[in-house]
Every structure is written in structure tokens, then in C-alpha cells.
């Protein structure tokens, strides 16, 4: 606890603060922001921290670390609310609720300026004023599924513009009746535009109007004795009705809403967001707020809402499963930050109540699954601790693996696991160079040296356990590397493939022991080591394949005299890939920036030697 003199100094600072709306930042003796708060009146709010008896555990914990207080005055309380959550995202304070949802949500992008628009997957900022965006969708699968439906019903193209411009014959999508092949004029612009308009209506949720239009077109084609076209619309109506039957939708209620449920159990919270667009459920996403030990349900929900919608578009309605203090202030702050109108509701009936019930069920199931997974990992870590005879519980594990093809393009990977599961933000890959091709000992030592050198430079804590894919030889080579870095007491184990490469026969070696540890084939601790080894292998081989693909791509083009990185990029951008460059004629190649007639002939002759 800070001494009385120091507390007195902070009290004096609080007394001099203006009693206006604003934000205050509390920092520790290292200058790290540990808490960000907002206030309708800064003076009264900050002074409340320095009462004779702390009002709650959270204030008491903050007072043990606080050293300085900085304030920012705002004009309104709504501005303070927005600034508070912006600063929480920026400083990541230890006593604030943090919404762990770093991913952006995918949309469907339609560029209506093109004569034959495509409907494409899009993630990130909305980059074009001339495009329309539909969503957000909760995950990639939901977007892919919707795009697949659009292709199946409306035969819309999904290729890149460069690929589209350089087609001379229909691709496989046309053959399997997933595209109308506008690239080679298999469909008129008028008919394609009709399909695009129907697809846009589909994304808006106007399924009934689409069926009505299809019926009109079918009857017209039948009257004109164009029975093939009539059959086409008949099939599309059937496809659309099948898809409708698979979707939970109230077509009469064109509501755009996010239905949000917060549930808690055993000290862990889950926030489930159910996305409703035009009365259609697009799917849901579960998010797990962190640092909730000292925070109430109200604070967690309010902070999560602000952080979520500072990064994502707000819908017309936000439906909550519990009442929210300061609901109107939060609502106005969201409107002010995004310049769009929304309404926060916590008392709903009819179809909105059904959506809320689905959202709560999703939150409860996600939390149950998360807790079960966390308990399972914790049990496995406890078992591994006992099996290895460690005095302290092993809760932070790293594993290294190397992938190559006959010594070529070696890539080492490091994955990390803690009590929450795999920590993907801590994954690392290392390109291995300067070692004898195929020398796994040297490759794994190189990666470990670089990884631990960085740990030492940045004064980070070493993991509790280092796992190596290999046996005693790999362990000994890694041990020498750590000794050269003056790193001692690092527990190391190796996992080596057993007879017939059967996982039941995997052997686990502990540094310092000659024989492998005796672990039953069904032992949870052994399963944990195998799981992290397999994840490291997956991550390594993915990197190796990407490196190999990149080299193959470069070697095909850059081995041609006169082709450098710039011309290679122009060729791939223009044609959409190496295969289309290979098929291109001399005249096609001449349309690329930087390619003259002589160079075009060289490229053509390189890929067409006969």
C-alpha cells in the first residue's frame, strides 16, 4: 500500500481537479496505465478512491499500485464514455474489462460499378465508395455458405477482375452450373443485371419478391416456348425454397439487430452476439471478456458493448438479455461515435424474445464448452507436472518442430500453450539458413537459440517446459544452446515417434534421463504432449509449403531474362495467377505495363517451347 504521505498527495491532486466530465488514467511506478475510468464529475469520482476505508476490493487493489493520476476533460459524459473505451483498447490496463475479440467481421462486397459485378468475401475496412457491403457475418463459414448459395441460385461469377478479363473459354464453374460465364459472353449484360438485382434482394432478405420475379420470368419463357429458360427458373425457385427451409427466418419482420447475451459461471463470462439482418439469422459469435475479477455484471456488459461497437458497425437495434444502467448514455455515445441511429432494448416480446432465447442458449453452451476445455487442459497440465516430477505446476509450454523436404526450404515453428489453451499470438516461425541441409539437430538448435535470445534481450520469463520434436540427440543439442546463453534450469523434454509411427508407441524423453518416461498410451499427460507436438508440426509444415509455393512461383517468372519483381507482380496482377500467364498469347502479354514485344515473345516461348 502506498504510504500516507503519498496518498495525501494524490488526495490534494484530486481536490484540485475540475468537477467536469472526463477520463482519468491511473498508472503504477513504472508508468504503466493500470486503470482507466470515466466520470460525470472528475473531482468527486477520483476523491472517492481516497476514503478512510476503500469501498470495494477493486479500489483497494488499485491503491496498492497507483503512483500517478492523469485526467482529460471532455465536454459531455458521452464523449468521456467513448474516450474511456478507446484508451482501454490502447493501454490494455490490468484492472479494466478487456473484450478479447481482435478479429474483424467478414462482409460480402458487391462492386455495382462493374458491368458484370462479382459478389466477394471481404474483411477489414470498407474500401470502396462504389461498393455495397452486406453483413457483418459471424464467421468465414457463414460468408462462404451465403456466397455458395448466390452462385447456385443466381449463377454469379466469383473470380478476380484480372482473371475475368483474360478468359478465352468458360472455366469449371460454368461446367458445374455455378456461373453464367459472362467472361466469354455466355449471358447478356441485361440478364446478368437481372440476376445481380435478385441476388441483392436475397441479401436484403426479400426472398418472396425473388420467387415472384422468377415465376414471372418462368411464365414468360414458357409463353415464348423457351422451355429451357423456363426450366432454369423452375429449378432456381426449387433451390431457393430448399435454402429457405434451412434458415430460421421471419420474412415479414425486416429487422437488423444484434442480440447480445451475457452469462457467467465460476468466475468466467461469455458474451454471445446473434446477428440478425432483415429478419434472418446470419449466425452467432461468442466472446470471452477478460480481467473480470473485480468487475460487476453491469460494468462488464457496458464496457463490452462500448469496446465492441467502437470497432464494428452498429445495427438498428441492440437487444440485451439483462437491464443496463446508463443505457441511454451508452446508446447516445454509440450514435455519436458512428453517426448512425440505434436503439438498445432489454425488454422484448414475440420474435425478438425468440432470438434472445437463442442467444442465451448459445452463450451458455459456449461457456460450458470453454469451462470444460479449460478444466481438461488444467487436468492434463497437472498430470504432466506429476509425470515429470516438477515441483511447480507446469502451466506455460512451448514446442519446436522443423519441416523441410530433403533438407530444402527448412522452416522451424514454435507454438505455445497455457491454461487457456493454445496461445496463437505467441506462435513463431523461423526460416533456417546457414546450416547443413537435412541436419535436424542444427536446425532445431538455430530456432531455439533465436527464440531464447529474444526472451533474454527483452527480459521475458522463460516457459515452464520446452518440448522438442525428437529424442535424446535433439535434447542434448538444445541443452548446449541454452548453456551458451547462460540459461539454466529450463526443463526440456523430447517426444520421438515409436514403432510403426503409431502414437501409442511415442516415447517421451526427459533431459538427464537415459530411458524414456513410462507413460500409459491413454495417459492425459502424454496426450497433451502429443497434441502440442502435432500443432507445432502443423504450423511448421504450413510455413514450409508456403515458402515452397513462393519459390516455385518466383522461379517460373524470374528465371526469364528481363523479368524482375516489378514486372512479375504486374503479370500476376493482370492475369490473376501463373497458370493464366502460361496460357497468354503474345498480344495478351503486351497489354501488361512494362512488357514490350521482345519480352512478350520471351515469356511466350519460355512457356511454349514448341
Domain presence at residue 390: no
pLDDT more than 70, % of the chain: 91
Torsional class of 468: left (φ above 0), alpha (ψ -120 to 50), beta (otherwise): beta
Do 353 and 427 lie in one domain? The reply is no
Q: How far apart are CA 296 and CA 324, in angstroms?
A: 12
Residue-range definition of the domain harbouring residue 229: 107-245
Domain presence at residue 549: no
pLDDT digits over 530-586, tens only?
889 999 999 988 877 776 666 655 556 767 878 887 888 788 777 767 777 877 888
Average of per-residue pLDDT across 104-120: 84
Which residues, listed in sequence order, are joined to residue 475 by a DSSP beta bridge? none
Average of per-residue pLDDT across 340-353: 90
Report DSSP state, residue 517. Answer: B
Mean predicted lDDT score pLDDT of the chain: 83
**Per-residue pLDDT, 249:** 47
pLDDT band at 119 (very low <50, low <70, confident <90, very high): confident
Average of per-residue pLDDT across 364-393: 86
pLDDT digits over 395-438, tens only?
999 999 888 765 566 888 899 999 888 888 889 988 888 777 77
DSSP string, 448-494: HHHHHHHHHHTTPPPPSEEEEES-HHHHHHHHHHHHHTT--S-EEEE
Do 201 and 178 lie in one domain? The reply is yes
Q: Find the CATH number of the domain harbouring 37.
A: 3.40.1440.10
Q: Which three cell numbers stand for residue 500?
A: 510403426
Res 38 pLDDT > 70: yes
Do 263 and 361 lie in one domain? The reply is yes
Res 152 pLDDT > 70: yes
Number of domains comprising the chain: 5
* Contact yes or no for 409/541 (Cβ under 8 A): no
Domain presence at residue 84: yes
Res 142 pLDDT > 50: yes
pLDDT digits over 47-104, tens only?
888 887 887 888 888 888 888 888 889 888 888 888 888 888 888 898 988 887 656 7
Res 262 pLDDT > 90: yes
Res 116 pLDDT > 50: yes
| Among 608, 592, 467, 573, CA closest to 163 | 573
Do 297 and 403 lie in one domain? The reply is no
| Among 369, 367, 379, 139, CA closest to 265 | 367
Do 564 and 501 lie in one domain? The reply is no
* Contact yes or no for 286/371 (Cβ under 8 A): no
Do 415 and 536 lie in one domain? The reply is yes
Domain presence at residue 391: no
Q: How far apart are CA 83 and CA 85, in angstroms?
A: 6
Res 394 pLDDT > 80: yes
Do 409 and 485 lie in one domain? The reply is yes
Selection from 1-5, 9-13, 351-355 with the highest mean pLDDT: 351-355
Do 188 and 148 lie in one domain? The reply is yes
User: Could you write out the three-class secondary structure of 486-512?
Assistant: CCCCCEEEEEECCHHHCHHHCEEEECC
Query: Given 369, 384, 419, which residue is the final one in a domain?
Result: 369
Res 347 pLDDT > 50: yes
Query: Given 27, 60, 91, which residue is the final one in a domain?
Result: 91
Least confident residue range of 141-145, 239-243, 601-605: 239-243
Do 479 and 590 lie in one domain? The reply is no
Domain presence at residue 341: yes
Domain presence at residue 447: yes
468 compared with 6, residue with greater pLDDT: 468
**Per-residue pLDDT, 356:** 92
**Per-residue pLDDT, 400:** 93
**Per-residue pLDDT, 317:** 92
Do 117 and 237 lie in one domain? The reply is yes
Q: Find the CATH number of the domain harbouring 275.
A: 3.30.420.10
Average of per-residue pLDDT across 131-160: 82
pLDDT digits over 218-256, tens only?
888 888 787 777 887 777 777 666 655 545 444 456 788
Do 156 and 196 lie in one domain? The reply is yes
Q: How far apart are CA 467 and CA 397, in angstroms?
A: 7
Res 120 pLDDT > 80: yes
**Per-residue pLDDT, 28:** 86
Q: How far apart are CA 136 and CA 393, in angstroms?
A: 42
Domain presence at residue 374: no
**Per-residue pLDDT, 443:** 87
Do 193 and 79 lie in one domain? The reply is no
* Contact yes or no for 287/101 (Cβ under 8 A): yes
**Per-residue pLDDT, 582:** 79
- The residues, any chain, with a CB within 8 Å of residue 245's CB and separated by 6 or more, are none
pLDDT band at 467 (very low <50, low <70, confident <90, very high): very high
Res 200 pLDDT > 90: no
Res 2 pLDDT > 60: no
Indicate the angle between helix axes 189-204 and 140-154, nearest 10 degrees.
140
Domain presence at residue 113: yes
| Among 207, 203, 194, 214, CA closest to 147 | 203
Amino acid at each position: 500500500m502506498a504510504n500516507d504521505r503519498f496518498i495525501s498527495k494524490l488526495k490534494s491532486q484530486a481536490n484540485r481537479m475540475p468537477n467536469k466530465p472526463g477520463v482519468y488514467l491511473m498508472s503504477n511506478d513504472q508508468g504503466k496505465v493500470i486503470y482507466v475510468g470515466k466520470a460525470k464529475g472528475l473531482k468527486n469520482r477520483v476523491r472517492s478512491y481516497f476514503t478512510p476505508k476503500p469501498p470495494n476490493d477493486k479500489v483497494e487493489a488499485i491503491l496498492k499500485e497507483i503512483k500517478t493520476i492523469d485526467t482529460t476533460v471532455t465536454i459531455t459524459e458521452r464523449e468521456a464514455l467513448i474516450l474511456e473505451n478507446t484508451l482501454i483498447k490502447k493501454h490494455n490496463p490490468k484492472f479494466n474489462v478487456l473484450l478479447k475479440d481482435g478479429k474483424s467481421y467478414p462482409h460480402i462486397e458487391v462492386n455495382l460499378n462493374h458491368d458484370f459485378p462479382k459478389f466477394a468475401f471481404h474483411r477489414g475496412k470498407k474500401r470502396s465508395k462504389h461498393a455495397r457491403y452486406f453483413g457483418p457475418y459471424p464467421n468465414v463459414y457463414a460468408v462462404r455458405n451465403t456466397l455458395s448459395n448466390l452462385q447456385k441460385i443466381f449463377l454469379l461469377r466469383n473470380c478476380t477482375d484480372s482473371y475475368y478479363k483474360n478468359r478465352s473459354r468458360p472455366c469449371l464453374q460454368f461446367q458445374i452450373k455455378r456461373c453464367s460465364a459472362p467472361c466469354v459472353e455466355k449471358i447478356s449484360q441485361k440478364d446478368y443485371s437481372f440476376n445481380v438485382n435478385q441476388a441483392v434482394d436475397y441479401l436484403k432478405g426479400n426472398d418472396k419478391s425473388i420467387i415472384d420475379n422468377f415465376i414471372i420470368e418462368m411464365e414468360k419463357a414458357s409463353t415464348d416456348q423457351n422451355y429451357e429458360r423456363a426450366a432454369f427458373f423452375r429449378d432456381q425457385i426449387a433451390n431457393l425454397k430448399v435454402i429457405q427451409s434451412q434458415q430460421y427466418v421471419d420474412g415479414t419482420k425486416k429487422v437488423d439487430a444484434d442480440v447480445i447475451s451475457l452469462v457467467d459461471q465460476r468466475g468466467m463470462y461469455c458474451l454471445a452476439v446473434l446477428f440478425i439482418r432483415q429478419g434472418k439469422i446470419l449466425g452467432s459469435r461468442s466472446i470471452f471478456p477478460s480481467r473480470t475479477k473485480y468487475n460487476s455484471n453491469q460494468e462488464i456488459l457496458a464496457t463490452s458493448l462500448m469496446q465492441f461497437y467502437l470497432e464494428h458497425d452498429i445495427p438498428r437495434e441492440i437487444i440485451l438479455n439483462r437491464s443496463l444502467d446508463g443505457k441511454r448514455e451508452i446508446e447516445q455515445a454509440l450514435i455519436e461515435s458512428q453517426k448512425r441511429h440505434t436503439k438498445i432494448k432489454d425488454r422484448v416480446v414475440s420474435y425478438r424474445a425468440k432470438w434472445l432465447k437463442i442467444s442465451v442458449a448459445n452463450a451458455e453452451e459456449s461457456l460450458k464448452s470453454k469451462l470444460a476445455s479449460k478444466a481438461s487442459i488444467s487436468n492434463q497440465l497437472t498430470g504432466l507436472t506429476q509425470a515429470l516430477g516438477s515441483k511447480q505446476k507446469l502451466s506455460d509450454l512451448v514446442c519446436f518442430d522443423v519441416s523441410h523436404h530433403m533438407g530444402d526450404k527448412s522452416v522451424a515453428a514454435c507454438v505455445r500453450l497455457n491454461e487457456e489453451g493454445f496461445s496463437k499470438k505467441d506462435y513463431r516461425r523461423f526460416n533456417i539458413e546457414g546450416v547443413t541441409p537435412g541436419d535436424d539437430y542444427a536446425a532445431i538448435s538455430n530456432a531455439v537459440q533465436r527464440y531464447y535470445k529474444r526472451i533474454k534481450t527483452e527480459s521475458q520469463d522463460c516457459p515452464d517446459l520446452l518440448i522438442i520434436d525428437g529424442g535424446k540427440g535433439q535434447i542434448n543439442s538444445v541443452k548446449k544452446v541454452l548453456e551458451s546463453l547462460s540459461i539454466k534450469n529450463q526443463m526440456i523434454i523430447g517426444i520421438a515417434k515409436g514403432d510403426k509411427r503409431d502414437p501409442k508407441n511415442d516415447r517421451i524423453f526427459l533431459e538427464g534421463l537415459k530411458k524414456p518416461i513410462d507413460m500409459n498410451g491413454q495417459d492425459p499427460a502424454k496426450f497433451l504432449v502429443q497434441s502440442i507436438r502435432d500443432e507445432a508440426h502443423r504450423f511448421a509444415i504450413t510455413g514450409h509449403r508456403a515458402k515452397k509455393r513462393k519459390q516455385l512461383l518466383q522461379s517460373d517468372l524470374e528465371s526469364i531474362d528481363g523479368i524482375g519483381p516489378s514486372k512479375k507482380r504486374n503479370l500476376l496482377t493482370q492475369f490473376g495467377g501463373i497458370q493464366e500467364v502460361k496460357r497468354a498469347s503474345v498480344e495478351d502479354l503486351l497489354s501488361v505495363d512494362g512488357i514490350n514485344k521482345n519480352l512478350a515473345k520471351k515469356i511466350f516461348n519460355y512457356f511454349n517451347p514448341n
